Amino acid sequence: MTGNKTNIRNKIDHLFRHEYGKLVAVLTKTFGTSNIELAEDVVQEAMLEALNKWSYEGIPDNPTGWIYKVAKYKAVNIVNREQYKREHASEVARHLQSEWTVAPALKHIFTDKEIADDQLRMIFTCCHPSISTDSQIALTLKTLCGFSIPEIAKAFLTTNENINKRLVRARKTIKETNIPFEVPVGKKLEHRLSSVLETIYLLFNEGYNATTGDTIIRFELCEEAIRLAEIIASNANINSSQTYALLALMSLNTSRFDSRIDASNNLLNLEHQDRNKWDKALIKKGLYYLEFSAKQNEISIYHILATISAHHCTAKTYESTDWESILALYDLLVDIDNSPLILLNRVVVIAKLTTSKEALEQLNNIEGDSIFHSYLPYYTTKAELHFKNNEPKIAIELLNNALKLPLNKNSKALINNRLEEYSKKN
């Protein structure tokens, strides 16, 4: 019986991950954006009911349809409450209040097209500029991706209380600002889309360069970021090359995911990765997206970063990487975004083409920015350059300083491995 309950729990978890965001989006349209939390509660109640009933009755032939049916009728019960009728009746909800219109209304709002459109509306609602960036990401993960508060807290190395506060702030802003459940049009779309893509990219980066040791959460963050971008790309009314360029970048980077950790769970850089483990299908997909994005006369950060990633993914070996072309791309990127992190990556490329001493000189020109004080790649990059410049003592000191940062176990293991390597040459 215990094994059966485990199978049911796994099935529920799978459904929760894949259907939660769809149902919350549909029910948010039904209840109105001021009642996002109500929509989440209905979906969670439906999932809980499934867990309880399936434990005794077994999993139905169409579990997704079962969940949807329960959620539908829970929604009907809510919109037919007198208090809800008076205070929150949306256009969709009014159709669920009449026995003559409820059946066709339910059939319409739960079609595949409506569900896809509602998810798109939900993305733009969660990423509204009036909501702070950290709250945007938390709300997106909670409502569209089905992540729990503890999972979000783990992903961003913070407390459950802090994430809950972000969610409360976001919902309060939506209610007070009366943010519409819609995809903007015209000039508003261009500005809002940039904000949405930035949020998705931040979400992806937290998965790819996670600050915690939970590999599952890391990969799922990347998967969800790609899924959200694909929802945007699949809408014919949003014809943006930036979306496809971002999809290219995320697909190409994710293709290397399995090769970034060795058998001892240590992080590996590009030089030491087994290229046979790279996902060829994802690389092909990423190159397709990149080619598609290039058909429009537009260059964005995502286009350049995706092209850099394409160079890495198509190089037969690390030694045959076209570093000169990559440096030219970073030079182009600096004209658009001369942030310290971009400049640091450029220094890494310079080290491949010149000497460690010249790269250190370049690093000295940018390291005054305070962002580097808490950025692990700064310490590891500078330490590696000093080590190759025959200065192991300085390299060791830098890595010991890096160990004082809040790090996951993989990052600590990486630093300790390098400390051991550097100490042998000291």
> Half-sphere exposure of residue 44, counting CA atoms within 13 Å on the CB side?
11
Which residues in the chain come in under a pLDDT of 50? 1, 82, 84, 86, 91-103, 211-214, 216-217
pLDDT score at 368 = 81
Q: 308, 329 in Cβ contact below 8 A?
A: yes
Measure the CA dihedral 336/340/345/351, to 10°.
120
Read off the amino acid at residue 80: N
- Whose CA is closest to 201, among 174, 183, 221? 221
* The token pair that represents 335 in the structure block: 């004209």
pLDDT score at 373 = 83
User: Where are the chain's structural domains?
Assistant: 1-110, 121-235, 346-426
Q: 152, 135 in Cβ contact below 8 A?
A: no
pLDDT score at 202 = 84
Q: 31, 67 in Cβ contact below 8 A?
A: no
- Whose CA is closest to 255, among 326, 325, 312? 312
> How big is the chain by its Cα radius of gyration, in Å?
24
| Model confidence, pTM | 0.81
* The token pair that represents 320 in the structure block: 């045959």
390 Rama class: left (phi>0) / alpha (psi -120 to 50) / beta:
left
- Whose CA is closest to 93, among 75, 107, 108? 75
Report the Cα–Cα distance between both ends of the chain, in Å, rounded.
Answer: 59
CA distance 90 to 92: 5
pLDDT score at 104 = 54
Label residue 158 exposed, middle or buried (CB < 10 Å: 0-12, 13-18, 19+).
Answer: middle
Which CATH code is given to the segment(s) 346-426? 1.25.40
pLDDT score at 4 = 62
- No. of H helices and E strands in the chain? 21, 0
